[in-house]
Structure formats: C-alpha cells, structure tokens
Amino acid sequence: MALLLLLVVQVAGQEVSLQGKITNLEDIEGIHVLNTTSRYNAVTDAFGNFSITAKPLDTLLFSSVHYLPKKVEISEEIQERGIIVITLEKLINELDEVFLGSKLTGDLDQDIKNINVKKTINFKDVGIPGFEGEPEEKIPTVIGQTIGPTHINIDALYKHISGYYKKLRIQRKWEAENQTVASILYKYDETFFERAYGIPKDRTYDFLLFCIETSTLQADFRKQGHARVLGIFKKQAAVYLERIDLPSEKKE
C-alpha cells in the first residue's frame, strides 16, 4: 500500500510537456511564458501556441508589453490534460484628451490658457510626493509590531507562522522584477539583445531576470543610468550564455 502511494505521488509530481494556447484575438505572438519554479521558458508563436515543461504546483508567468502580467499555478488536473488555455487582460495606455479651442489668437501664452484638458493636474504632474489608490498591506516585524511588551497581534502572528508574509514578499519582488523587464523590453526589443549580445529571442525574458537577480540592473534602469545598464548587459551576457552552453560572440 505504501509503495502504491509512493508511486502515485511520484507520477503526480513528474514534469510533463504542457501544450498551451493564448485565446486573445490579437498580439498573441511573442508572449513570454516563464515557469518561475523551474525557470523553463517559452514564447508563443503566431497563433498563440506554446509548449513548456511543468509539474503540479509550478507557477507559469505570462508577460508581454501588450498585456498585464498573469500568473497561473499548475494543478494536477492541468497536468493530466496536458493542455492549458489562457486569456490575458489587455494593457491599455490612454493619452489624455486635449481639446484645442476653435479660436486661436496667435499669442502662445493666451492660447495655452484656452486649452481645455479633461484631466486635472495632480501632485504627480508637478513632482510632489503623494499616493493614489489602495495602500499595500503592511508586513509588520515579528518583534515590536507583532509581539510587543503589552500586546500580541494574533492575526499578524498567524500570517508570520503560516508563511503568508513570506509569500507576499516574494510576490511583490516578482511583480517589481516583471515590471522592470517589461519596461526594458519596451526600450530595447528582443532583436537588440540578439544582435548585440547573442541572446536567443526565446531566452530574452530569462536573461533579463538573470541580470536583475545578479546585478544592480533594476536600480540602474530606474535611475536611467543607461551606460551602466548596457555595461551590465554586456558583462552578464557572457556569463549567461556559458550557463546555457551557448557561445558568446561578444566575449573577449
């Protein structure tokens, strides 16, 4: 009986090749699919199809400049079917509508005053620190905020013990890294990395995550230190290509 149970667990935990499909009607080619557990990755073809290795409890991260990032945990049902079908939410960047008055005087200062902008200027537009939207859940420290000399926060203590706060930290780290990768790909496309550093297009997303985790890329890109960013790309490309057993054309 114990042997049978062990065999069932082993079969359930085995990696399988999943066949996937993105059901959106447009911009479905070149969507990155990353298994964040094993770091296997894939890229969708012109029809939104992809194939990736995964096992139950692995998490797939779907990322594209056209869609919001989406994470999907692989269940035993998905593993048994061997098929996963995903619909992504469109990422919409809308420009504010600006209406020019019907009467232009030729006086630039006067005409600017007559322009009607629907969206009012807020603290972000003038560079004043501020916050909009719902605040993130705070992660309290165990000693002091969760367990104090005169109180114990039972809810916070349970979240520490259960690992909830640990998972929340990891989730926020991944979201921040994914946003950085999306911004980098918006500025430097996959062709740039292939031509400049020999990074295969289907490995671009994984390469950028590797750079983020092994260098100061995230901070340098945020500070617009583009010379340092390009230096990181060049240095880390040689290391990355050796790890995946591909020759680096740029390695000296």
Q: Per residue in 129-178, pLDDT tens? A: 554 556 666 777 767 677 777 777 777 767 767 777 677 677 777 777 77
pLDDT score, position 132: 57
Put simply, whether the predicted model's pTM sits higher than 0.75 gets the answer no
Of the pLDDT bands very low, low, confident and very high (cuts 50, 70, 90), residue 4 is: very low
pLDDT score, position 108: 60
pLDDT score, position 250: 43
Look at 9 and 49; give whichever has higher pLDDT: 49
**pLDDT, tens digit, for every residue of 90-143?**
876 554 455 555 566 666 666 666 656 555 555 455 444 554 556 666 777 767
Mean pLDDT value across residues 215-231: 90
Domain spanning 15-86: CATH 2.60.40.4130 = yes
Look at 238 and 96; give whichever has higher pLDDT: 238
pLDDT score, position 246: 55
pLDDT score, position 16: 84
d(CA 209, CA 52): 18
CA-wise closest residue to 24 among 44, 43, 5: 44
For the chain, report the end-to-end CA distance as a whole number of angstroms.
Answer: 59
Q: Are 47 and 72 in contact (CB under 8 A)?
A: no
Region at 235 (left for phi over 0; alpha for psi -120 to 50; beta for the rest):
alpha
**E strand or H helix at 117, and its extent?**
strand 116-117
